[in-house]
Structure 1
Amino acid sequence: MPLFIIPSLSSYSQLTGYFFFPLFSMETLTLFFFFLLVSFLFFLLRTNYRTRWRLHHLPPGNFGLPFLGETLQLISAYKTENPEPFIDDRVSKYGTVFTTHVFGEPTVFSADLETNQFILQNEGRIFESSYPSSISNLLGKHSLLLTKGGFHKRMHSFTMSFANSSIIRDHLLVDIDRLVRLNLESWADRVLLMEEAKKITFELMVKQLMSFDPCKWTEKLMREYMLLIEGFFAIPLPFFSITYRKAIQARREVVEALNLVIAERRRKGQSEERKNDMLAALLDGDGGAGGFSDEEIVDFLLSMLVAGYETTSTIMSLAVKFLTETPQALAQLKEEHDEIRSRKSEGKALDWKDYKSMPFTQCVINETMRVANIISGVFRRTTADVSIKGYTIPKGWKVFASFRAVHLNHNCFKDARSFNPWRWEKTNSGGTELLNMFTPFGGGPRRCPGSELARVQLCVFLHHLLTQFSWVAAEEDKLVFFPTTRTKHRYPIIVRRRESCTSTPS
């Protein structure tokens, strides 16, 4: 290593005293100057944030490291089975509305029920939907999650009209019942429940959207979808992230497959009987002025598949997990469904009256969604300066309304972090107190339009599982919440068919 000579600091007055000091390498100098630059930028950022706090009277909080903010702390927390301390610690220090810096932007977190309701109800006025670019790039600009203004209202209304109670009762329920039983036919011995649930919900969505029964095409489409979803929370730079690169390629494959289906439907036009699915309604143009473009239809179908596939399958799996760990609830649920089955001839499909005869099932579904929080919350962006709780959030800032923080708040729900489906029994008698604090499907103009459809699918699945099988957990499995809510080992169970029941679809 090169050397240079400097006067000895210990005997600087003696010009004859020298010692040898190694010259810094270029790599060391680069790191040194990089450290100085980062420190300087950090100083500027901290000064800027303090100025903002003083000028705008922002909620209190901590911006963390330069650029990274508190993103690493957030991700680390959600990779465990107990992510609550990330919000709990900050709420205890700053209050239920606090400022942080995550995913590259200063963000105001709300763990407050009233603030969350204010954010949801003012969608389109002083807040607008805003998600990380990794999600928006993969879903497409016309997806229901990302569209705004008049186009979003039109698509949201269209979706609600297609997934309302009468449509589900008269057209969709029979396919839901048939496909659930068809999938359960192959179950034996050890089953990876989360994988099987995903298969069921994906096939249901493909059938309802495009009238495809399970086949090689749907299997390939599902594989590509799984790759696409894995990219939602990856670094949105293909060069740096293999996961994101694979997700982008998967989106291309999915878009190509959907475009072929749309082209074939347009080509056949009136030459064959109209299918009773969502694609047919989209091709008809929703009955409004002008139809939808192929790009709009593709993005819409893609986002609907994601919405119906990932969330519903996770709730299915976690409901079984929580029931397995709560034998009293499992026993009561079995009684409810055995009673329904006893009224029907063997192999007879469920009907709407049966669905409406499952009050405790609805309690189990509510409690599963409350405890698991498949949708932890929603990101929004302010379109004007907003006053909340005596603070001011500047225009253009991100806000995050945390549903999870409210659902697991002991002041809102007694013994909030325990699975207790009986807490919901009073809502079946007209009680609304808990429901007013319960937002698993969001709220306001962006409330999930498929909430009733998801409940029907969950009820049908639980009915056939309970009446056809008994099961035990094959091994202990833990929940993790990043990048999505799931069990660490896909929740393996050992199933045994109940001899008194048959699963042959009628």
Structure 2
Amino acid sequence: MSFYTLFVTSLCTLVLPLLLIAAAVKLWEMYVISGCDPTCRGALPPGTMGLPLLGETLQMVLQRRKFLRIKRQKYGYIYKTHLFGCPTVRIMGSENVKQILLSEHKLVAAQWPASVRIILGSHTLSNAHGAHHKSKKRAILKAFSREALEQYIPVIQEEVRGTVDGWLESDTCVLVYPEMKRLMFRIAMRILLGFEPDQTKADERELVQAFEEMTKNLFSLPIDVPFSGLYRGLRARDIIHSKIEQNIKKKLLKTCENNNYKDALQLLIENGEKNDERLSMQEIKESATELLFGGHETTASTATSMVMFLGLHAHVVRKVRQELQEKYVMGSQGEDKPLDMERLEQLKYTSCVIKETLRINPPVPGGFRVALKTFELNGYQIPQGWNVIYSICDTHDVLEALPNKGDFQPERFLDNKSPEDSARFGYIPFGGGARICVGKEFAKVLLKVFVVELVSRCDWRLLNGPPTMKTGPTVYPTDNLPTKFTCWPEP
């Protein structure tokens, strides 16, 4: 074979396919951005759109924080990409986030990726808009009033104490993250859905596994074919709906025998009847699934992060114990005192521990919106119909005038100028605006009770040291945080 023939063959075999791929990618980018408004003065944000159809979804799902860090370093606080089947602008920074969160129903509207909407369903609070969203939100907020939270404390304390007892009795290490998911799931089942302990325990293992599978596949390409992420997420969702429906039917038969408080699901059902909008079983199942997801996945993530941070900072544990003794929440020998809202509200330093955990490891990395019309943000054009993701974790990372951002320092929230005050939308672990997390006060009480029970009764050691953290979709340790717990004070 002559050199010329070899050269042409190599050209056709190697170079030509590469050129075709490059041309396809370029044509794809031109097609995606063809919807921009030529009358808008702002240029599109910098960034890349990735592969045809797939966009950059696979890189984001596989790399998560690494992907986001590289993008931020390369393109700054606003950049374009293509995720979950849609052209997307990702933003961060308090001023940019502020404009998005305060423009609900004017410039943007809440819209999660298609896969999330399909799996969770159309009847959830996250997918509701306008008057329907306000009505649902009001009903759920009643379940998180101060009076309601007071009623929940004994249930939370009972469940946390039982779990901590199990950790102390274990001869082997405890995998904290899966344990935490089971604990927070039981609490959410009892408090948010009003199920009895025996109902919760009977279905706990299967439901937790199904939730794990559903959660893992929430953010996936919206392609429902066998073995795809969406397919697996829907199959897991069906298992959850089946189990929940059995319990809901029992619950509806026992409505008049309910506890001395009304759970969030009961309030939603009553709100629908009051407004002549009786909820169907499908609507109840979807609402229950959303409440369970929001009520246990995020708190399990944050509680696990707290075990990690406190395990790495013994001086912080000592300060928490000192506060518990000073506020008479814990006796000098570790004996417990009754907890109530008034006592919990006195624990200022303990609150700072929770806030600092949420600053460094916010459980939810961001929120999703869709542009209702083309508008400008910081000089860039955001085209109508594009998705807008505001990043919570990146916004915390780039918060200005915050020394030693990477260090775990709860004391920073005791200062006159804490991260909460330095920028209204610079510290947003619960989101903000009209869509701020409805369960944030419930989460704070739950996490505070957990810290009190843990610190007043346990010492612990992280067997693998500081873990690698991943996001999928909430933050979690890749090694599940193996930990050895011992009694404190020693018998």
Q: Does residue 242 of structure 2 align to residue 256 of structure 1?
A: yes
Closer, same or farther: CA 361–38 of 1 in aligned 2, 3 Å: same
Deviations 1:406-430 (A, max 9, x none): 2111525222222221110026999
Q: Does the CA contact (< 8 Å) of 2:273 and 2:279 recur in 1?
A: no
Q: Does residue 474 of structure 2 align to residue 490 of structure 1?
A: no
- Counterpart of 2:194 (choices 200, 210, 220) is 210
Q: Could you tell me how far apart the structure 1 residues matched to 2:44 and 2:468 are?
A: 35
Q: Give the aligned residue type for 1:299.
A: E
Q: Per the alignment, in what secondary structure is the counterpart of residue 416 of structure 1?
A: coil
Q: Does the CA contact (< 8 Å) of 1:412 and 1:437 recur in 2?
A: no
- Counterpart of 1:381 (choices 351, 370, 379) is 370
Closer, same or farther: CA 32–449 of 1 in aligned 2, 3 Å: same
- Counterpart of 1:414 (choices 388, 400, 403) is 403
Q: Does residue 276 of structure 2 align to residue 295 of structure 1?
A: no
Aligned to 1:115: 96
Q: Could you tell me how far apart the structure 1 residues matched to 2:396 and 2:367 are?
A: 14
Aligned to 2:442: 453
Q: Does the CA contact (< 8 Å) of 1:58 and 1:99 recur in 2?
A: no
- More moved, 109-118 vs 209-218: 209-218
Q: Give the aligned residue type for 1:89.
A: K
Closer, same or farther: CA 492–54 of 1 in aligned 2, 3 Å: same
Q: Could you tell me how far apart the structure 1 residues matched to 2:487 and 2:473 are?
A: 34
Closer, same or farther: CA 174–9 of 1 in aligned 2, 3 Å: closer
1:458-473 superposed matches below 5 A? 458-473=447-462
Aligned to 2:175: 192
Q: Per the alignment, in what secondary structure is the counterpart of residue 330 of structure 2?
A: helix
Deviations 1:16-70 (A, max 9, x none): xxx899999xxx99x9998776555434334456766682433431224332444
Q: Does residue 195 of structure 2 align to residue 178 of structure 1?
A: no
Aligned to 1:160: 141
Q: Could you tell me how far apart the structure 2 residues matched to 1:20 and 1:177 are?
A: 76
Q: Does residue 264 of structure 2 align to residue 284 of structure 1?
A: no
Q: Does residue 346 of structure 2 align to residue 360 of structure 1?
A: no
1:91-170 superposed matches below 5 A? 91=76, 96-169=77-150
Q: Could you tell me how far apart the structure 1 residues matched to 2:390 and 2:421 are?
A: 21
Closer, same or farther: CA 160–262 of 1 in aligned 2, 3 Å: same
Aligned to 1:90: 75
Unaligned runs of 5+ in 1: 11-18, 502-506
Closer, same or farther: CA 21–464 of 1 in aligned 2, 3 Å: closer
Q: Does residue 420 of structure 2 align to residue 440 of structure 1?
A: no
Q: Could you tell me how far apart the structure 2 residues matched to 1:470 and 1:318 are?
A: 16
Closer, same or farther: CA 140–66 of 1 in aligned 2, 3 Å: same
Q: Does the CA contact (< 8 Å) of 2:107 and 2:373 recur in 1?
A: yes
Q: TM-score normalized by structure 2? A: 0.87
Unaligned runs of 5+ in 2: none
- Counterpart of 2:358 (choices 356, 369, 372) is 369
Closer, same or farther: CA 268–70 of 1 in aligned 2, 3 Å: closer
Q: Per the alignment, in what secondary structure is the counterpart of residue 318 of structure 1?
A: helix
Closer, same or farther: CA 281–49 of 1 in aligned 2, 3 Å: closer
CA shift, 1:370, in A, is 0.8
Q: Give the aligned residue type for 1:221.
A: L
Closer, same or farther: CA 428–203 of 1 in aligned 2, 3 Å: farther
CA shift, 1:115, in A, is 1.7
CA shift, 1:404, in A, is 1.6
Q: Does the CA contact (< 8 Å) of 2:157 and 2:449 recur in 1?
A: yes
- More moved, 421-430 vs 101-110: 421-430
Q: Per the alignment, in what secondary structure is the counterpart of residue 378 of structure 1?
A: strand
Aligned to 2:25: 42
Aligned to 1:474: 463
Q: Could you tell me how far apart the structure 2 residues matched to 1:385 and 1:104 are?
A: 19
Q: Could you tell me how far apart the structure 1 residues matched to 2:433 and 2:398 are?
A: 22
Q: Does residue 32 of structure 2 align to residue 63 of structure 1?
A: no
Q: Does the CA contact (< 8 Å) of 2:349 and 2:414 recur in 1?
A: yes
CA shift, 1:118, in A, is 1.4
Q: Does the CA contact (< 8 Å) of 2:43 and 2:381 recur in 1?
A: yes
Q: Could you tell me how far apart the structure 2 residues matched to 1:438 and 1:38 are?
A: 42
What is the RMSD computed on CA atoms of the aligned residues? 3.3
Closer, same or farther: CA 253–101 of 1 in aligned 2, 3 Å: closer
Q: Could you tell me how far apart the structure 2 residues matched to 1:464 and 1:470 are?
A: 11
Q: How many residues align?
A: 476
% identical equivalent positions? 24
Q: Does the CA contact (< 8 Å) of 1:359 and 1:428 recur in 2?
A: no
Q: Could you tell me how far apart the structure 2 residues matched to 1:20 and 1:356 are?
A: 79
Deviations 1:127-179 (A, max 9, x none): 1112222222211111122222221111111111111222101x111111111
- More moved, 333-342 vs 343-352: 343-352
Q: TM-score normalized by structure 1? A: 0.84
Q: Give the aligned residue type for 1:456.
A: V
Q: Does the CA contact (< 8 Å) of 1:62 and 1:101 recur in 2?
A: no
CA shift, 1:73, in A, is 4.3
Aligned to 1:233: 219
Q: Could you tell me how far apart the structure 1 residues matched to 2:270 and 2:394 are?
A: 42
Q: Does the CA contact (< 8 Å) of 2:374 and 2:381 recur in 1?
A: yes
Q: Give the aligned residue type for 1:184.
A: V
- More moved, 209-218 vs 451-460: 209-218
Q: Give the aligned residue type for 1:365.
A: I
Deviations 1:445-495 (A, max 9, x none): 110010010011111111111111101111132212244311010111111
Q: Does residue 319 of structure 2 align to residue 332 of structure 1?
A: yes
Q: Could you tell me how far apart the structure 2 residues matched to 1:377 and 1:417 are?
A: 19
Q: Could you tell me how far apart the structure 2 residues matched to 1:71 and 1:335 are?
A: 47
CA shift, 1:353, in A, is 1.9
Answer with 1 or 2: which has the greater Rg: 1
Aligned to 1:16: none
Q: Does the CA contact (< 8 Å) of 1:130 and 1:379 recur in 2?
A: yes
Q: Does the CA contact (< 8 Å) of 1:173 and 1:351 recur in 2?
A: yes
Closer, same or farther: CA 141–37 of 1 in aligned 2, 3 Å: farther
- More moved, 96-105 vs 481-490: 96-105
CA shift, 1:313, in A, is 0.7
Aligned to 1:319: 306
Q: Per the alignment, in what secondary structure is the counterpart of residue 418 of structure 1?
A: coil
Q: Could you tell me how far apart the structure 2 residues matched to 1:225 and 1:76 are?
A: 20
Closer, same or farther: CA 309–101 of 1 in aligned 2, 3 Å: same
Closer, same or farther: CA 64–245 of 1 in aligned 2, 3 Å: closer
Deviations 1:240-260 (A, max 9, x none): 535543322221111122222
Q: Could you tell me how far apart the structure 2 residues matched to 1:192 and 1:176 are?
A: 21
Q: Does the CA contact (< 8 Å) of 1:235 and 1:241 recur in 2?
A: no
CA shift, 1:354, in A, is 1.7
Closer, same or farther: CA 211–447 of 1 in aligned 2, 3 Å: same
CA shift, 1:76, in A, is 4.7
Q: Give the aligned residue type for 2:347.
A: M
CA shift, 1:434, in A, is 5.4
